[in-house]
Amino acid sequence: MKVLSIVKKGIIFLAIASIYLFFYIPIAILITFSFNSAAFPSPWISFTWQWYHELFGTVYIWYALSNSFIIALSATILSVLFALALVYMRLFTRRASLFDSLFSLFYANLIVPEVVLGVGLLSFFVICAAPLGIVTLIIAHTVLGLGFAVPLINGRFAELDMRLVEASLDLGATVHQTFFLLLCPCYDQQLLLLHC
C-alpha cells in the first residue's frame, strides 16, 4: 500500500514538473538568447546588451507602456466605482430582485473566455462606428473588469450584518452616510485588493 502511494506521488510530481518545464524552458531560452549578439534564430556568438539598449531607447515602447498604465488605472477605478454603485443600488432600493437577475450577468465573465468577450466588444464598437482608440480600450477593459469586481464586491456585502445598517438608519444616518461612512470603511481592504 505504501509503495503504491509513493509511486502515485512520484508520478504526480513528475507530471507537474514536466508541465512547469514545458512552460518555463522556452521563456528561459528566450531570456538567455536575448543577450546574444546575433539575431534570435542563430547559435550563441557573444554576450551583449545591444538589444536592451535598443529596446529602452525606442520611443514607441515608452508610449505603449504609458498607454497601458492609463488604460489599466482607468479601467480598474471605473470597474470598482461601477461595482460599488451597483451594490449600493441593490442594497438600498426596493427592486432587489431586478438587481439579482442583473448580477447573474456578471458571472458570465467566469464562464465565457475573455477573448470571446473582447471580440464581441470589438464587433459592437465597429457596428456602432465608434472610433477605436484609448477610450474604447478603457470602456472594454472596464466591462471586462466588472465581471470580476461585481461578484467580489457583491459577495463581500452579502456577508454584511444587516443589523449594522438598520442601527445606522435608526440612529438618523442617511442611506448615503450609512453606505459611505459605515459600510465602505468596513470593506476598504477588500476594495483596495481589487485594484491589485
pLDDT of residue 127: 93
Q: Percentage of the chain with pLDDT > 90?
A: 26
DSSP string, the chain: -HHHHHHHHHHHHHHHHHHHHHHHHHHHHHHHHTTBSS-SSS----B--HHHHHHHH-HHHHHHHHHHHHHHHHHHHHHHHHHHHHHHHHHHSS-HHHHHHHHHHHTHHHHS-HHHHHHHHHHHHHHTTPPPSHHHHHHHHHHHHHHHHHHHHHHHHHT--HHHHHHHHHTT--HHHIIIIIIHHHTHHHHHHHT-
Rounded average pLDDT over 127-141: 92
**pLDDT the model gives residue 188:** 67
Given a cut of 60, whether residue 196 has pLDDT beyond it is no
Sequence ranges of the domains in the chain: 2-56, 67-194
Confidence at 194, pLDDT banded by 50, 70, 90: low
pLDDT at 151 over 80: yes
Of 42 and 64, the one with more pLDDT:
64
pLDDT at position 195, please? Answer: 55
Query: Does position 114 have pLDDT exceeding 90, yes or no?
Result: no
Overall pTM surpassing 0.95 (yes/no): no
Of 85 and 192, the structure prediction assigns the larger pLDDT to 85
Q: What number is the average pLDDT over the span 81-93?
A: 81
Given a cut of 80, is residue 157 above it in pLDDT? no
Over the chain, what is the mean pLDDT?
A: 83
Per-residue confidence band for 96, with pLDDT thresholds at 50, 70 and 90: low
Residue 10 pLDDT greater than 60, yes or no: yes
Under the banding of pLDDT at 50, 70 and 90, the label for residue 58 is confident
Average pLDDT over residues 143-152: 87
Q: Which fold, 67-194?
A: MetI-like fold (1.10.3720)
User: How confident is the model over 28-35, as a mean pLDDT?
Assistant: 88
- Tell me the average pLDDT across 76-84: 89
